[in-house]
Amino acid sequence: MVTHFIKNYKTRLQFQNFELQQKILKALVFNTHLSVITRRKLSWQYSRICFLSSLVFIKNKCILSGRYRSVYRFFNLSRLVLKEFFKLKCIPFLTKSS
């Protein structure tokens, strides 16, 4: 289970590191003012970066429990873990809505 969390953390870091470079290359690949040869070289670089860091590999998953369902994006926690933290009063300013 620990290796699973480490792998998930590494893929999130890798995506974060390459996100800006990926967006720039995508814009350059679809720029029609550049020559075809330049666009092909850029598309090769873009495909290589997309393979290393893609949103497909990063799933909406709870950090602690590993659940895919009902995950709050702000905390990256599932509702069950968030409920336990609420009971223990670990997260400040979290209130129950009715």
Does the CA dihedral 58-64-67-72 come out positive or negative? negative
> Which candidate, 62, 58, 61, 95, places its Cα nearest to that of 81?
62
Read off the pLDDT of residues 8-41 as tens digits, 9 standing for 90 and up.
Answer: 777 778 778 888 888 888 889 998 899 999 999 9
Q: What is the pTM of this model?
A: 0.49
Same domain, 35 and 75: no
Same domain, 40 and 85: no
Number of domains in the chain: 2
Same domain, 40 and 80: no
Read off the pLDDT of residues 59-76 as tens digits, 9 standing for 90 and up.
Answer: 677 888 878 788 888 888
